[in-house]
Amino acid sequence: MLKQVLIIASIIFSIIGGLDAQTKDLETIISRGVAEYELGNYEDALNFFKQAYKYDKSSSVACYELALTHLALKDNENAALFSGKLITRKNAEYQEDAYLINGSAWENLGREHRARKIYKEGIKKFPGNYLLRYNLALSLFNSKEYDEAQKYAISAVELAPDHGSSHLLLAYIMFDKGERVKSMLPLYYFLLIEQDSDRSTTAYDLLTSLWEQGVTMKGQREIMLVNAGYKYSDFGSAELAISLMKAAEKSNEMDGLQNKLINFAQNNQTLFKLLSEAAIEKEGFWWDFYVDFFTKIEENNLSEPFSYFISSCKHNEDVLLWLSEHHKDFQRFTAWMEVY
């Protein structure tokens, strides 16, 4: 009897040992594929992941890596195929990411409605995933469905305030809707998050151009306020104030970039103060998120260093010159941001 028990135990340990070896082999293959993927060698990575999937078709990680690599290679059909396998598996690992890959693949294939259906299914199953909401908002924005796009972009911002792309997308949505202040606020926030990219420069140019909207010069002296096509809604007083500030600035405008940066900082301070005053008894996303934040900037006397900081993406040398003379002000700003 004891001999039989020992034989059975030996068989069990042998099976377990074999499974451990198989698991280690699979992990080795996948790790080599991941290494190639991170180097940008997607074809080599794909070969490893195909080998891993053939080794164990039930492996969620192999299926996920195949989907991701096919997407990187712009093989959207196979990206949709393998990510779809994960979506249909009950409680599969990597399922949350699979929804993102699957939606992106269908989007790339021109199947926008199917992509949105996938994003919405993913949001229902993973309500805390901000990227699903961002991708859905971007898809809707590209189809000019601005109200729906705005809803999902706002929820992405609320879930992940440090995701710069969500702020930038929201700014573009509001710009296309004709809402000047509601386009400017997320642009300010985006530039605070992202400073050193091509889209930072583009965002800064859009922000400064929005300050110019509604004002035109006629001759050398006469300033005209014009209807720039922007709605006045609950930010009506701010809309009018922006145009009035720029009109006053143009009537006494001084040449030179340094003067423009000074005016930019002063105008921002005035705008943030005006918004904080207008926020009394106001509530809702725009007031509770953006206006509240910029009110704190103004109340802590940080509008000037904030303005120069976001201007560095476009005018770095002039900002460095200002920093050399206002080092303590900038230190106060960075210290406040660290604890905010």
Model confidence pLDDT, tens digit, residues 282-340: 899 999 999 999 999 999 999 999 999 999 999 999 999 999 999 999 999 999 999 88
Spatial CB neighbours of 277, under 8 Å, sequence gap ≥ 6: none
What is the rounded CA–CA span in Å between residue 171 and residue 178?
A: 11
Give Rg (Cα) of the chain: 27
pLDDT band at 265 (very low <50, low <70, confident <90, very high): very high
Q: Which of 129-143, 231-245, 278-292 has the lowest mean pLDDT?
A: 231-245
Give burial (CB, 10 Å; 0-12/13-18/19+) of 76. Answer: buried
Q: Which of 51-65, 158-172, 204-218, 228-242 has the lowest mean pLDDT?
A: 228-242
Beta bridge partners of 222: 218
Asked whether the predicted pLDDT for residue 259 surpasses 70, the reply is yes
Q: At what angle do helices 292-299 and 257-278 cross, to 10 degrees?
A: 120
Spatial CB neighbours of 283, under 8 Å, sequence gap ≥ 6: none
What is the rounded CA–CA span in Å between residue 320 and residue 308?
A: 9
What is the rounded CA–CA span in Å between residue 204 and residue 260?
A: 14
What is the rounded CA–CA span in Å between residue 207 and residue 201?
A: 10
pLDDT band at 231 (very low <50, low <70, confident <90, very high): low
The predicted model gives 114-126 an average pLDDT of 98
What is the rounded CA–CA span in Å between residue 73 and residue 68?
A: 9
- The upper half-sphere exposure of residue 39, i.e. CA atoms within 13 Å in the direction of its Cβ, equals 11
Q: Please report which residue ranges of the chain form alpha helices under DSSP H.
A: 2-38, 42-55, 60-72, 76-88, 95-108, 112-125, 130-142, 146-159, 164-177, 180-193, 198-212, 236-251, 257-278, 285, 292-299, 303-311, 316-325, 327-339
pLDDT tens column, 4-27: 543 444 444 344 444 454 566 889
- On whether the pTM is more than 0.85, the answer is yes
pLDDT band at 71 (very low <50, low <70, confident <90, very high): very high
Asked whether the predicted pLDDT for residue 196 surpasses 90, the reply is no
Share of the chain above pLDDT 70, in %: 84
For the residues of 187-249, what is the DSSP string, one character each? HHHHHHH--SSHHHHHHHHHHHHHHHTTEEEETTTEEEE---S---STTHHHHHHHHHHHHHH
pLDDT tens column, 152-161: 999 999 999 9
Q: What angle do CA 290, 316, 255 make, to 5 degrees?
A: 90
Q: Which of 70-74, 257-261, 310-314 has the lowest mean pLDDT?
A: 257-261
What is the rounded CA–CA span in Å between residue 339 and residue 247?
A: 37
- The pLDDT value recorded for residue 192 is 97
pLDDT tens column, 36-58: 999 999 999 999 999 999 999 99
Q: What does the mean pLDDT of the chain come to?
A: 87
- The pLDDT value recorded for residue 96 is 96
Of residues 20 and 114, the one with the higher pLDDT is 114
The owner of tokens 């922007």 is: 230
Beta bridge partners of 162: none
| Domains (range + CATH), the chain | 1-127 (1.25.40.10), 178-340 (no CATH)
